[in-house]
Amino acid sequence: MLPGNVMEIMASPSSLFSAYASFSGSMMLVRTMVNDIIPRPVQAYLWQAIRRLFKANPPVQEHLTLVVEEYFHGQNEIFDAAEIYLRSKIDANTDRLKISKSSDEGVLVSFAKDETILDTFDGVELEWKFVTVTTPHQRRGSYDEGEESQEQYFELSFDKKHKDKIIGSYVPFVIEKSSEIKGKEKILKMFTCGGYGRSWSSVDLQHPSTFDTLAMEPEQKKAVMNDLDRFLGRREFYKRVGRAWKRGYLLYGPPGTGKSSLVAAMANYLKFNVYDLQLSNIRSDSQLRELLLETGNSSILVIEDIDCSIDLPERSAPTQKDPRSELTLSGLLNFIDGLWSSCGDERIIVFTTNHVEKLDPALLRPGRMDMHIHMSYCMYHSFKLLAANYLGIPDTDDENHCHRRVFTEIKSLLAKTQVTPAEVAEELMKSEDPHVALDGLVKLLKQKKRETPTDGKLETVEEIEDQLKEKLKIE
């Protein structure tokens, strides 16, 4: 039997029924009042809020996984971008990695099978997983032993509610970042066309020239760098005004003044591949157009020694015309600034010549060669830069300079002598002893001075520029 106090607490069945009936009646009255007073749409909203408030289990976070396959109608650019981008996210929490090395590259770090990388974007947590699936080849219902195929892909998982943000903002962000990383790691290529211009072949461009080491007057060097920077930042401008995104440069001056080194410095500065076009290998305008179509974006196209590389039929005497040649001046001009020049983005065209006075005026008109750069003989500032590069002598005019006397003599001789930076560099390379190398350079400059006619007058940069301007007025 239950204790007496418990029996007192427990109510009789009739009491419980009465209480229930009273409560039900009250609820029905409240419901009637709610229906009469509160509009139906508001009621629905309130009931949903109450159900969410009193729901027994909290909402379960739903995840979405995007699969980024390596190939999709060819190489998948998003896969390539993710692979490059995620290498920058490797940290101490990464457990397994693969490393490899080829003969011409450094150690390459990549992901091992099923490795995961965590990332965050605008407060959203993301998980990347690298998946590798190996399956045997199957032929006619049986598996061929030893033959396998491998499939690689990334899985990107995140909260499903952020789908639009990830696809619309995060994926473009990954592509942009990978482009920046790829640009820094890019191995530049030098392309040359084979016999008769049939195709391009390439080698690694390992020319060490940079604007820091280039023997060029500082004002001129700064002007070229500023022009390149301005060109790179004007994509939308070129598009808005309806012009091809390209820039033309004419490098002219005596042999050995650094024209090829300037092209290499431009390539290293921009991270652009170089296409070296030999016009003597081109037999027709159509081949010229085909080669242009095969060049990549973000590239420098170089046509060296344009004054002597080929005799264009329209400017040659009939007896000198090669009957096999169909490369014309109009075809070359259309190649520079006609419709075919717009087949690509971020292109730079560089013409070089040792004799600007021999060029056809049609090649020199504004709009074809946007910037004319005179590569002059070695000046004192260029000499100091070469001395710093080759001999380790500080580039300074300090009175306590240990080579101050010989530097003063060299400065005086350079003002009266025509010597190219290549000749100066060759002399400085003959000895690692600065005193021996500088004495040898002084002897060279004195010899050059003796060879200069006493009544001769050295052409200044301004005089050469004036000659070029006069030539542009011919037609």
Q: Please tell me the total count of domains within the chain.
A: 3
> Could you tell me the residue range of the domain that residue 87 belongs to?
63-185
pLDDT greater than 80 at residue 316 = no
In this prediction, residue 126 has a pLDDT band, given cuts at 50, 70 and 90, of very high
We report the CATH number of the domain holding residue 226 as 3.40.50.300
Q: Do 406 and 360 share a structural domain?
A: no
Mean of the per-residue pLDDT values of the chain: 78
Q: Do 226 and 270 share a structural domain?
A: yes
pLDDT digits (tens, 9 = 90+) for 274-289: 999 888 778 888 888 8
Q: Which two tokens stand for residue 26?
A: 């009250």
Q: Do 248 and 133 share a structural domain?
A: no
Q: Do 311 and 296 share a structural domain?
A: yes
Q: Do 363 and 429 share a structural domain?
A: no
Among 351, 374, 397, the domain-final residue is 374
The answer to whether position 52 is within a domain reads no
The answer to whether position 34 is within a domain reads no
What is residue 138's predicted lDDT score, i.e. its pLDDT?
57
Q: Do 181 and 144 share a structural domain?
A: yes
Q: Do 315 and 198 share a structural domain?
A: yes
In this prediction, residue 98 has a pLDDT band, given cuts at 50, 70 and 90, of confident
The answer to whether position 419 is within a domain reads yes
Of 147-156, 168-177, 200-209, 436-445, where does mean pLDDT reach its minimum?
147-156
The answer to whether position 438 is within a domain reads yes
pLDDT digits (tens, 9 = 90+) for 42-70: 666 676 666 666 555 555 568 899 999 98
pLDDT greater than 80 at residue 220 = yes
In this prediction, residue 475 has a pLDDT band, given cuts at 50, 70 and 90, of very low
Among 166, 185, 204, the domain-final residue is 185
Q: Do 313 and 424 share a structural domain?
A: no
Q: Please tell me which residue, 167 or 1, carries the higher pLDDT value.
A: 167
Q: Which two tokens stand for residue 96?
A: 């397994």
The answer to whether position 120 is within a domain reads yes
pLDDT greater than 80 at residue 224 = yes
The answer to whether position 346 is within a domain reads yes
The answer to whether position 106 is within a domain reads yes
In this prediction, residue 201 has a pLDDT band, given cuts at 50, 70 and 90, of confident
What is residue 159's predicted lDDT score, i.e. its pLDDT?
92
Q: Do 148 and 228 share a structural domain?
A: no
pLDDT greater than 70 at residue 325 = no
Q: Do 212 and 142 share a structural domain?
A: no
In this prediction, residue 164 has a pLDDT band, given cuts at 50, 70 and 90, of very high
Q: Please tell me which residue, 137 or 252, carries the higher pLDDT value.
A: 252
pLDDT greater than 90 at residue 350 = yes
The answer to whether position 203 is within a domain reads yes
In the chain, what percentage of residues exceed pLDDT 70?
70
Q: Do 221 and 153 share a structural domain?
A: no
**pTM reported for the whole predicted model:** 0.63
Q: Do 368 and 231 share a structural domain?
A: yes
What is residue 6's predicted lDDT score, i.e. its pLDDT?
46
pLDDT greater than 70 at residue 8 = no
Per mean pLDDT, which of 58-67, 137-146, 243-252 is the most reliable? 243-252
pLDDT greater than 70 at residue 294 = yes
Among 374, 409, 433, the domain-final residue is 374
